[in-house]
Amino acid sequence: MWVPLHIMFIKSIVKTNKATGERKEHFRLCESYRSGNTVKHLTIIHLGLLEELPEPEQKRLLGRRIEQLIQQEREGNVLFAPVPPEDIIEQLAQRFYFAIKEKQRIDIASGKDYHIVDVNSLQNKDVREVGIEWLCLQAIEQLQIATFLRNNDWDEELIKLALTHITSRATYPASELRTSQWITQNSAICELTGYPVKKITKDRLYGISHQLYEKKDALEKHLGKRTNDLFDLNDSIIFFDLTNTYYEGVMRNSKIARFGRSKEKRSDARLVVLAVVVNTEGFLKYSNIYEGNKADSKALEHMLEQMSTSTSSVARKPVVVLDAGIATEDNIKLLKKNGYDYMCVSRSGMGKYTVDLESNPIGIFDKKKQIITLQKVKVAGSMDNYLHVHSQAKELKETSMNSRFAERFEDGLKQIKESLGKKSGIKKQAKVSERIGRLKAKYPSTHKYYDINLEANKEGSVTDITWTQKDIEKKDGMYLLRTNLNEKDERTQWKIYNAIREIEYTFRVLKTDLDLRPIYHKSDAASMAHLHLGLLAYWVVNTIRYQLKLKGINNEWNDLVRIMSTQKLVTTTMQNNRNETIRIRKCSEPTEDVQAIYKALKYKSMPFTRKKSVVPPAEIKKSQSTDNDLSLTG
């Protein structure tokens, strides 16, 4: 489990004897603490010259042993056995430990700790968010991202920065500039990861995003295997889909930003396409970034080449579930060629099927207790199996929507017709046809059900417009599922396809909760790194949500962020009767909802219990010169 770094260290101070001019190195055991945005050092005890320990490593071992004794005292299990005369480090450690305890220079009591304090002096300072950050860091520990980076020869400080940025993207998705401000002013993330908050800048955040993107493929495979092992998943069903996101900028020199069909209706902006493979539990198995004009039906072949190394199913290849936009005949043939079973919404017309007389309609209920009717059907010229789906709720929705669009389309035609009778109205046939063309483009799914006729005079002016609605077969709430699976019954087929809602949620989280849309970066490299960082954050989000759903907690991610952000990290200061300043850094107690989330995940509710220090009224002045600190962490 992730824990904060040690805050004790040995500091060396060179002092000069004014009488003789002799310079000697003295040592102090110090503790670092935060005061506002400033990190300060508190001297716990003077260690003297430590002439008994000539080697720097011996001094580090001494400091580490003192800290160990303090920690054992706090946990109530400190034991003191006879010390051999040659073990000088243990002798000194116990001597200094008892001196610290006697002088009450640090909170080491495992029981009650009484002080007489001035209540009016009590202040709460440096309040920071800690709950959602602590939650994400424990999920990151489950995913073993730090272990992966360590195995790839990343140094510890770089790993801490990477974990800081991934957590920040999951909890506060924003630009690198705003993220750096949030880290330094609002969040306790650096206290949890151990990365120096003073080193946080937007440029360092940019840099670590690029370095993480360089490990994209290997990191993706690691995370895919790790989640499968962690949650015993087998990737028997996977979903393939694409989405696009747009740029806020011209991006003229970009190799990937292209004009295309925007799913956000941003035809004025260049796009980039994100393709993902997701399993039924919502975990990413593979992702890729394509040019913005990449058609949905063109990216499947490259993705299939990568899936065999990104999924864990060994008994057979997984069932690939496709949306209708990607389920072209060419892609169906490609799946068959590569030995994949598949399921998709059929692109064939609803009028080309016949009911399978050997099967009966089956009624099932969705999550909202609304009826859905399933019926096996046959499509002429196809060897695949088809399932006719009729949803009453979907029918009502589509009927209402189509009626609304039809009404708006006819209102548009009426406005064009009324313009013919106005003195300054548009009457020329070419201009009128142009207006009708724009109206058709606005309602592409509606205009095809109308016959529109123009009457014009010899001068080429339109005198009248008439329209009639075609007689069409009612198909609202109906569609066909297509599959080459033979052994699956109707309910199983529906259950397989219905799980595609996971990929819909994936894109919703990526685009909205994790701020992948729009892209403000000005270079391809920065855009790639930005999108990849969002995907890494999604791994963290889904690791948490998947485990919570197993326990019946189905909150949206932004709701979980809101709930967990009620847990804060606070520094409380007060003056005691000896005019000493007592400083306590402690997490607030989790609320009932927060505690329920920790319990469901089996996570620790506190990164640390508390950090306490007692600062004397007048601290010793610094000496003339300072040498290197001797870190206890080595």
**Rg of the chain over all Cα atoms, to the nearest angstrom:** 34
pLDDT digits (tens, 9 = 90+) for 522-548: 888 999 999 999 999 999 999 999 999
What is the average per-residue pLDDT within 547-557?
93
Q: What are the backbone angles phi and psi of residue 337, rounded to the nearest 5°?
A: -60, -35
Q: Are 44 and 10 in contact (CB under 8 A)?
A: no
Range with lowest mean pLDDT among 119-123, 303-307, 359-363, 573-577: 303-307
With a CB cutoff of 8 Å and minimum separation 6, the contacts of 442 are 412
pLDDT digits (tens, 9 = 90+) for 363-417: 887 767 778 888 888 888 788 888 888 876 665 666 666 778 888 888 999 999 8
The yes-or-no verdict on residue 266 having pLDDT over 50 is yes
The yes-or-no verdict on residue 306 having pLDDT over 90 is no
Better pLDDT: 541 or 74: 541
What sections of 117-232 are H helices per DSSP?
A: 131-143, 145-151, 156-171, 176-185, 189-193, 202-213, 216-231
Q: What is the pLDDT of residue 381?
A: 79
Q: Are 267 and 247 in contact (CB under 8 A)?
A: no
Better pLDDT: 33 or 285: 285
What is the average per-residue pLDDT within 60-89?
75
Taking every pair of C-alpha atoms in the chain, what is the biggest distance, in angstroms?
120
| Count of beta carbons in the 10 Å neighbourhood of residue 246 | 24
pLDDT digits (tens, 9 = 90+) for 424-438: 888 898 999 999 999
What is the average per-residue pLDDT within 557-561?
94
β pairing state of 342-345 and 319-322: parallel
Q: What is the pLDDT of residue 109?
A: 52
Express the helix, strand and coil content of the chain in percent, nearest 5 each: 40, 25, 35
Identify which of 81-85, 279-283, 296-300 has the greatest average pLDDT: 279-283
User: What is the three-class DSSP state of 393?
Assistant: helix
Query: In angstroms, what CA-CA distances link 473 with 444, 449, 478?
Result: 18, 11, 11
Average pLDDT, the chain: 83
DSSP string, 611-634: EEEEE-SSPPPP-SEEEEEEETT-
Q: Are 323 and 241 in contact (CB under 8 A)?
A: yes
Q: Which amino acid is residue 134, in one-letter code?
A: W
Q: What is the pLDDT of residue 1?
A: 33
What sections of 104-155 are H helices per DSSP?
A: 131-143, 145-151
| Count of beta carbons in the 10 Å neighbourhood of residue 355 | 12
Confidence of residue 7 (pLDDT cuts 50, 70, 90): low
Confidence of residue 314 (pLDDT cuts 50, 70, 90): very low
How far is C-alpha 9 from the chain's CA centre? 35
Confidence of residue 134 (pLDDT cuts 50, 70, 90): very high
Confidence of residue 3 (pLDDT cuts 50, 70, 90): very low
Question: Which residue, among 260, 145, 239, 222, has the nearest Cα to 506 in the 3D structure?
Answer: 239
With a CB cutoff of 8 Å and minimum separation 6, the contacts of 66 are 8, 29, 93, 96, 97, 100
Q: What is the pLDDT of residue 571?
A: 92
Q: What is the pLDDT of residue 6?
A: 45
Q: What is the pTM of this model?
A: 0.69
